[in-house]
């Protein structure tokens, strides 16, 4: 039985649009329950110290306080973690950064809880701290964890860099650095924990990865997974940021709910969030490149150190993605890459949109421009000479067996932006301008989904009801990216229904099996494949039920226009509703569960090589900027962004992702930084942490490239994260084109633009 997927490639109204624009969507802060208590956290006073004693008696005596808990009250494991079990929801013997909690209070009001927190007395023995990851890896550095300060070391090896450098006419060495960045979601972290009558602990809130959170909460509280239920409220932004820190809040609120048998709300203030929640990893990157005078790259040797902060979190996965992609989308015959993740006493770092790619893309794309300059080549022509093409081999030894479109992306964007003309005329015109203009580009490739980071599989359930309406349930999360709409389109396409007939159910760990996290831009290609399989299975049941009445074999039955009909003979048809009734009357189960597993891949950690991902996406962005050399202000005038998404199931959603990713990258390139001094967060609210507004992003030209991939639904791959990886590098290259100054450290703040070198950064109050 076939479908008529005419809705694929169109842009119907988002299925969650009405609730969001009318204000009826219920976010975590909107949740209220009878008898609810409010929780507050007593945070550490030192970035590194032993806890000698905690006195809570005065806090417990305060009228309105229902409970005070410390690490001694935890019934299960004192810590959790994706690989390394080191993240402590409440610190026991030692605090490792200022975001650590030493006690948590539940009271009748937040004000009472805050007063109680102030009454808790903690005595510490302050310990030496380490705040630079490069210093942390030295043998004599203070130990943050007993096993030492090295979280992980990944490597990539291809060929022999000694041979490659011997073949080079020039060897170029450069160093770059990137900053600590906050997710800056408008909604801070919030959970409500309560007990169902059967004793199940329910936690509802601003969750991104529900099953990760369930595992952490169950482990820490000593509960079976079946006794922990996680429900997603409407999510007011995440960008990767509401995973580990939401597990921490869930453990704390869950512990208090178990202790008091009452609902508990725990929400972070903006200041709490900036101090406690994990950030994007700062990187220190050293590149050594061999190149021939004709522009051919012969070798790359790369050394990177990432600041993991106090806990490992996702550092192993973030740095692994970095090591795979560190050479960029280029043919490099000889590669030696080493990347180290190190513990420090800074705020810990974890998942953030791009997941290890924005840092390396800034470095290698700045480097490509620098090499082109050394050779006297146009940056575009230098890239076109070296970019990966069909059937090329990556730095990890993987042969690319799909359409490799980075060259296409480069050519499309440079034509659209008028690259050749502007590269020539801007330097000539700048001599007579106060505001200097420049244009720069950056390109990238990105492995799709989890790859060798872990088993990549997920499921979906499609239920057809007797009236012809349909429920859809998956284990993945809507975070504003349009997942509900894309998945509903897929079901509508396969069942021949309008999208309005599909009801997407909120994500709830009690309604579907663990299908992994909503990360790695995997939702459409992995989750969408599961949704399509489930919809096809449901459709086949309807076809079998209707075939006999229509007098045609099931293979000739199609679903289209709310009908089940004979292909080529639309008169022989029954309504979708009639077919559903027939199937149910025949005793058929019209609830279909499907499970999708990604294609097999392999990775050899010791040798640092393998087929890291089953497919890749490619993109290019060009930034045109205007720079005031007197003040250092950079205005982004226009951005051209071309991304190969395989197939755009919903083109408007794709364009929205491109624009959002560009805006994120502009903030990364120019404005955003969480400043820390000796483990103390100095950027304490959004008045000091500057994020781009509509006035800062300029005009964005979103260009969709489509080269359908055999592994995705209808050929679709992904778009979300790649769009956030490129623009910072493109801006840096454009600023250099405008001013002649190469800035190798992010962000490109006012002082760096004016002075042109690395310096101690000052707080900025204005744009």
Q: pLDDT tens digits for 460-481? A: 999 999 999 999 999 999 999 9
DSSP string across 501-555: GEEEPPPBTTTS-----S-TT-IIIIIHHHHHHHHHHHHHHHHHHHHHHHTS-GG
Quote the CA–CA distance of 264 and 566 in Å, as a whole number. Answer: 56
Under DSSP, the state recorded for 399 is B
Kindly list the strands in the beta sheet with 591-597, ordered across the sheet, starting from the edge strand earlier in the chain. 502-504, 470-474, 457-464, 591-597
Give the list of residues 6+ apart from residue 92 with CB closer than 8 angstroms, or none.
51, 71, 72, 78
Instruction: List residues bridging with 609 in a β-sheet.
Output: 604
Q: Which of 2, 143, 32 is nearest to 86 (CA)?
A: 143
pLDDT attached to residue 455: 83
Q: What's the mean pLDDT in 708-727?
A: 97
pLDDT attached to residue 454: 79
- pLDDT band of residue 3 (cuts 50, 70, 90) is low
SS3 310: coil
258 pLDDT higher than 70: yes
- Per cent of the chain over pLDDT 70 is 98
576 pLDDT higher than 50: yes
Both tokens of 207, joined, read 């969750």
Both tokens of 502, joined, read 């599909």
Give the list of residues 6+ apart from residue 273 with CB closer than 8 angstroms, or none.
188, 189
User: How many CB atoms sit inside 10 A of residue 506's CB?
Assistant: 15
The answer to whether 46 touches 95, Cβ cutoff 8 Å, is yes
Task: Kindly tell me the sign of the dihedral angle through the C-alpha atoms of 17, 23, 25, 28.
Answer: positive
- pLDDT band of residue 760 (cuts 50, 70, 90) is very low
- pLDDT band of residue 766 (cuts 50, 70, 90) is very low
605-662 confidence digits (pLDDT tens): 999 999 999 999 999 999 999 999 999 999 999 999 999 999 999 999 999 999 999 9
The answer to whether 483 touches 523, Cβ cutoff 8 Å, is yes
pLDDT attached to residue 755: 86
Both tokens of 666, joined, read 């502009």
Instruction: List residues bridging with 705 in a β-sheet.
Output: 644
- pLDDT band of residue 438 (cuts 50, 70, 90) is very high
Please give the mean pLDDT across all residues of the chain: 96
The answer to whether 76 touches 223, Cβ cutoff 8 Å, is yes
155, exposed or middle or buried, with CB in 10 Å at 0-12, 13-18, 19+? middle
pLDDT attached to residue 756: 74
334 phi and psi angles, rounded to 5 deg:
-130, 120
Supply the pTM of this predicted model.
0.96
SS3 766: coil
256 phi and psi angles, rounded to 5 deg:
-65, -35
The answer to whether 140 touches 273, Cβ cutoff 8 Å, is no
Helix axes 727-739, 419-430, angle to 10 degrees: 40
The answer to whether 260 touches 328, Cβ cutoff 8 Å, is no
Under DSSP, the state recorded for 280 is B
Give, for 20, the enclosing helix (H) or strand (E).
helix 17-22
- pLDDT band of residue 6 (cuts 50, 70, 90) is confident
Domains of the chain: 2-25+457-597 (3.30.365.10), 31-127+189-267 (3.90.1170.50), 283-451+605-755 (3.30.365.10)
Give the list of residues 6+ apart from residue 734 with CB closer than 8 angstroms, or none.
438, 439, 440, 623, 624, 625
- Per cent of the chain over pLDDT 90 is 96
pLDDT attached to residue 1: 57
Let me know how long the chain is: 767
496-548 confidence digits (pLDDT tens): 999 999 999 999 999 999 999 999 899 999 999 999 999 999 999 999 999 98
- pLDDT band of residue 4 (cuts 50, 70, 90) is low
Quote the CA–CA distance of 133 and 151 in Å, as a whole number. Answer: 11
Both tokens of 261, joined, read 């048998």
Where are any strands of DSSP class E within 576-705? 591-597, 602-604, 609-611, 616-627, 634-644, 676-677, 680-681, 699-705
């Amino acid at each position: 039985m076939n479908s008529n997927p005419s809705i694929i490639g169109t842009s119907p109204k988002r299925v969650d649009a009405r609730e969001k624009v009318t204000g009826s969507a219920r976010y975590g802060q909107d949740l209220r329950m009878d008898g609810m208590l409010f929780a507050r956290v007593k945070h550490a006073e030192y970035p590194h110290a032993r806890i000698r004693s905690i006195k809570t008696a005065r806090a417990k005596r305060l009228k309105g306080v229902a409970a005070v808990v410390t690490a001694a009250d935890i019934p299960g494991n004192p810590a959790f973690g994706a690989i390394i079990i080191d993240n402590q929801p409440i610190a026991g013997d030692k605090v490792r950064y200022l975001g650590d909690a030493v006690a948590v209070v539940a009271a009748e009001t937040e004000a009472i809880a805050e007063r109680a927190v102030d009454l808790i007395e903690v005595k510490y023995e302050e310990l030496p701290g380490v705040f630079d990851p490069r210093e942390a890896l030295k043998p004599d550095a203070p130990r943050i964890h007993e096993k030492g300060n090295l979280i992980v070391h990944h490597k990539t090896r291809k060929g022999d860099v000694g041979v490659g450098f011997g073949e080079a006419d020039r060897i170029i060495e450069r160093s770059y650095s990137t900053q600590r960045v906050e997710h800056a979601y408008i909604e801070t972290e919030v959970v409500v924990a309560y007990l169902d009558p059967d004793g199940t602990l329910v936690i509802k809130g601003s969750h991104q990865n529900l099953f990760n959170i369930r595992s952490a909460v169950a482990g820490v509280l000593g509960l079976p997974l079946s006794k922990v239920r996680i429900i997603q409220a409407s999510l007011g932004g995440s960008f990767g940021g509401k995973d580990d820190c939401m597990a921490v809040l869930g453990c704390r609120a869950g512990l208090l709910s178990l202790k008091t048998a009452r609902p508990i709300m725990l929400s972070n203030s903006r200041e709490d969030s900036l101090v406690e929640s994990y950030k994007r990893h700062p990187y220190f990157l050293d590149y050594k490149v061999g190149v021939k005078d004709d522009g051919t790259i012969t070798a790359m040797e790369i050394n990177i150190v990432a600041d993991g902060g106090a806990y490992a979190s996702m550092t192993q996965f973030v740095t692994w993605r970095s090591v795979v992609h560190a050479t960029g989308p280029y043919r490099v015959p000889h590669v030696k890459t080493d990347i180290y993740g190190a513990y420090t006493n800074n705020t810990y770092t974890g998942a953030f949109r791009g997941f290890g790619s924005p840092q390396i893309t800034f470095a290698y794309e700045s480097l490509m421009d620098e090499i082109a300059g050394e050779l006297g080549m146009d940056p575009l022509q230098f890239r076109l000479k070296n970019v990966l093409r069909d059937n090329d081999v990556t730095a990890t030894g993987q042969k690319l067996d799909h359409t490799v479109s980075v060259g296409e992306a480069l050519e499309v964007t440079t034509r659209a932006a008028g690259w050749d003309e502007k590269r020539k005329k801007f330097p000539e015109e700048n001599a007579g301008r106060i505001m200097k203009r420049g244009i720069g580009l950056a390109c990238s490739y990105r492995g799709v989904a989890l790859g060798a980071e872990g088993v990549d599989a997920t499921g979906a359930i499609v239920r057809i009801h007797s009236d012809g309406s349909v429920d859809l349930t998956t284990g993945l999360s809507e975070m504003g990216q349009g997942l509900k709409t894309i998945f509903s389109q897929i079901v509508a396409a396969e069942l021949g229904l309008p999208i309005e007939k599909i009801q997407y159910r909120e994500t709830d760990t009690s309604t579907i099996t663990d299908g992994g996290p909503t990360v790695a831009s995997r939702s459409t290609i992995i989750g969408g494949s599961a949704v399509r399989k489930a919809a096809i299975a449901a459709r086949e049941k309807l076809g079998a039920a209707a075939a006999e009445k229509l007098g045609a074999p099931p293979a000739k039955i199609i679903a289209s226009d709310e009908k089940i009909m004979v292909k080529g003979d639309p008169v022989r048809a029954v309504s979708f509703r009639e077919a559903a009734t027939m199937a149910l009357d025949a005793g058929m189960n019209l609830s279909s569960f499907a499970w999708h597993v990604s294609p097999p891949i392999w990775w050899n950690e010791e040798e640092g090589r393998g087929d890291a991902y089953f497919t890749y996406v490619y993109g290019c962005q060009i930034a045109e900027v205007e720079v005031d050399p007197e003040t250092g202000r950079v205005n982004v005038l226009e951005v051209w962004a071309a991304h190969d998404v395989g197939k755009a199931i919903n083109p408007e959603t794709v364009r929205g992702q491109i624009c959002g990713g560009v805006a994120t990258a502009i903030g990364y390139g120019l404005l955003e930084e969480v400043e820390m001094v000796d483990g103390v967060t100095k950027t304490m609210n959004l008045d000091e942490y500057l994020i781009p507004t509509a006035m800062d992003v300029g005009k964005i030209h979103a260009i969709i490239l489509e080269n359908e991939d055999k592994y995705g639904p209808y050929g679709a791959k992904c778009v979300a994260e790649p769009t956030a990886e490129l623009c910072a590098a493109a801006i840096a290259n454009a600023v250099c084109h405008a001013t002649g100054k190469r800035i190798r450290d992010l962000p490109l703040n006012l002082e760096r633009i004016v002075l042109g070198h690395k310096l101690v950064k000052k707080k900025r109050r204005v744009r």
